[in-house]
């Protein structure tokens, strides 16, 4: 009998010793696929539980944490104690764990009992994925901003005559998440074909450096890569322009689109020989952009979008994040989650790929140790009061 697509990942168990963003986002994606994700947190919890505003009067349910931890369960274990590590290893064997994920420092793997060698001895078929700043060969702390800086992403971001800037989202964390997700899926395929487990070490630096797939080879060939701000360095006009009521992004990618653009009322003054071909427009791009801005600032965003789209010139309003929530095309992609305790409702982003069987309403992020009773007491048979006394859980 053929397996339904939604059944492919059902029953797959993911155990995650994770925190912050990079690995939690990866396991969030795995959860959306239908896998069972269990977070193992220290007694003090994931630091992101305490970042920013909290829901109600709680202390470990900050909005920053809630965004990428729904569809997961949470237990607490003090992995610095031998008893905590013993329980984790018991889980790996008995649950059993198909996929183990972590973004702890590589130098802490063995001390916490989560290194690949130890876990693969317990489960030969385990798929092990670890995200770190620079891989196991360079086990030092790393955060998204420093990775953006070191890999050159920051240098090529921003206006030419201003300081380098960070990308507006934590792109190093996100790229590492996607790389880990890909590694897990590769591991599942390898398990299916070869019957063996696998290890996948993800370097945030390498995942981010990969984004310079065009710029780095050009720089190496002697073509200097500089900051262009919102303006393209090959095609013109491609930039942001102020309107009478906001901002738009126009992307004229060929001469046919340019010819259509200069036929609109107000734009006829740009129909000049020096701008007829893209090479001339790029040569005078700063002057051209200034001239376009003088025209667009007299027109509304909706008017420009309507006219340009009618003749297939790429154009978009520059949305605020609040605008995105109201955008009829984008809004229907988003997910929803509601806290059964406080009634708090959140809008969540969609996964980067379409999952046909994905329900729009998702379970809420777990409270710290919310599933200690279910997992540690009912499944493994431990006395929770004794574990609390021994400082293994909270």
- Nearby residues of 140 by Cβ (< 8 Å), 6 or more positions away: 105, 133, 134
Does residue 43 sit in the same domain as residue 152?
yes
pLDDT, residue 5, reads 80
Residue 285 lies in a domain: yes
Does residue 344 sit in the same domain as residue 203?
yes
Does residue 29 sit in the same domain as residue 55?
yes
Domain with 89, as residue range(s), is: 8-211+333-389
Tens digit of pLDDT at every position of the chain (394 positions):
456 888 899 999 999 999 999 999 999 999 999 999 999 999 999 999 999 999 999 999 999 999 999 999 999 999 999 999 999 999 999 999 999 999 999 999 999 999 999 999 999 999 999 999 999 999 888 999 999 999 999 999 999 899 999 999 999 999 999 999 999 999 999 999 999 999 999 999 999 999 999 999 999 999 998 899 999 989 999 999 999 999 999 999 999 999 999 999 999 999 999 999 999 999 999 999 999 999 999 999 999 999 999 999 999 999 999 999 999 999 999 999 999 999 999 999 999 999 999 999 999 999 999 999 999 999 999 999 999 999 999 9
Distance CA 317, CA 187 (A): 41
pLDDT, residue 37, reads 98
- Nearby residues of 229 by Cβ (< 8 Å), 6 or more positions away: 158, 159, 160, 239
Paired strand residues for 132? 203
Distance CA 297, CA 160 (A): 23
Which CATH number do you get for residue 80?
3.40.50.10540
Select from 323, 349, 369 the last residue of a domain.
323
* DSSP letter string, 182-250: HHHHHHHHHHHHH---EEEEEEHHHHHHGGGTTHHHHHHTT------TTS-SSSSSEEEEEETTEEEEE
Select from 305, 323, 341 the last residue of a domain.
323
Based on the structure, what is the number of domains in the chain? 2
Does residue 314 sit in the same domain as residue 339?
no
Does residue 117 sit in the same domain as residue 150?
yes
Which CATH number do you get for residue 314?
3.30.1540.10
Does residue 108 sit in the same domain as residue 24?
yes
Does residue 112 sit in the same domain as residue 31?
yes
| Alpha-carbon distances of 56 from 75, 121, 347, 361, rounded to whole Å | 22, 44, 18, 22
Does residue 272 sit in the same domain as residue 129?
no
Is the separation of the CB atoms in 239 and 249 below 8 Å? Answer: yes
pLDDT, residue 141, reads 87
Residue 226 lies in a domain: no
pLDDT, residue 3, reads 65
Residue 370 lies in a domain: yes
Residue 167 lies in a domain: yes
CA 223 to chain centre: 31
pTM (two decimals): 0.94
Does residue 304 sit in the same domain as residue 379?
no
Provide the token pair at 6: 């939604």
């Amino acid at each position: 009998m053929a397996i339904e697509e939604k059944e492919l990942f059902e029953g797959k168990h993911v155990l995650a010793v994770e925190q912050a963003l990079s690995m939690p986002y990866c396991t969030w994606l795995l959860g959306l696929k239908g896998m069972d994700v269990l977070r193992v947190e220290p007694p003090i919890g994931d630091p992101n539980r305490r970042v920013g505003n909290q829901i109600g009067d709680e202390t470990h349910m900050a909005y920053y944490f809630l965004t990428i931890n729904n569809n997961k369960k949470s237990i607490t274990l003090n992995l610095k104690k031998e008893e905590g590590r013993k329980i984790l290893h018991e889980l790996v064997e008995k649950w059993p764990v198909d996929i183990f994920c972590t973004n702890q420092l590589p130098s802490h793997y063995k001390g916490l009992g989560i290194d690949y060698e130890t876990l693969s001895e317990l489960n030969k078929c385990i798929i092990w994925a670890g995200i770190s700043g620079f891989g196991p060969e360079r086990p030092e702390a790393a955060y998204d901003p420093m990775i953006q800086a070191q890999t050159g992403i920051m240098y090529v971001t921003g206006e030419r005559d201003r300081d380098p800037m960070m990308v507006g989202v934590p792109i190093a964390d996100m790229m590492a998440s996607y790389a880990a997700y890909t590694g897990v899926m590769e591991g599942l395929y390898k398990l299916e074909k070869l019957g063996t487990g696998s290890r996948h070490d993800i370097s945030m630096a390498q995942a981010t450096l990969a984004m310079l797939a065009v710029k780095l080879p050009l720089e190496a060939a002697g073509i200097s890569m500089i900051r262009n701000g919102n303006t393209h360095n090959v095609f013109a006009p491609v930039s942001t322009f102020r309107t009478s009521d906001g901002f738009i992004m126009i992307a004229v990618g060929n001469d046919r689109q340019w010819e259509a653009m200069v036929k609109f009322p107000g734009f006829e003054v740009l129909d000049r020989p020096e701008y007829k071909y893209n090479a001339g427009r790029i040569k005078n791009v700063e002057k051209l952009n200034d001239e376009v801005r003088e025209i667009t600032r007299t027109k509304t965003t909706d008017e420009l979008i309507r006219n340009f789209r009618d003749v297939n010139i790429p154009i978009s309003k520059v949305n605020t994040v609040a605008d995105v929530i109201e955008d009829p095309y984008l809004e229907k992609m988003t997910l929803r989650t509601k806290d059964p305790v406080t009634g708090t409702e959140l809008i969540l982003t969609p996964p980067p790929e379409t999952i046909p069987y994905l329900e729009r309403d998702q379970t809420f992020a777990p409270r710290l140790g919310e599933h200690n009773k279910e997992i540690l007491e009912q499944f493994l048979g431990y006395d929770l009061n004794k574990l609390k006394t021994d400082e293994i859980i909270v």
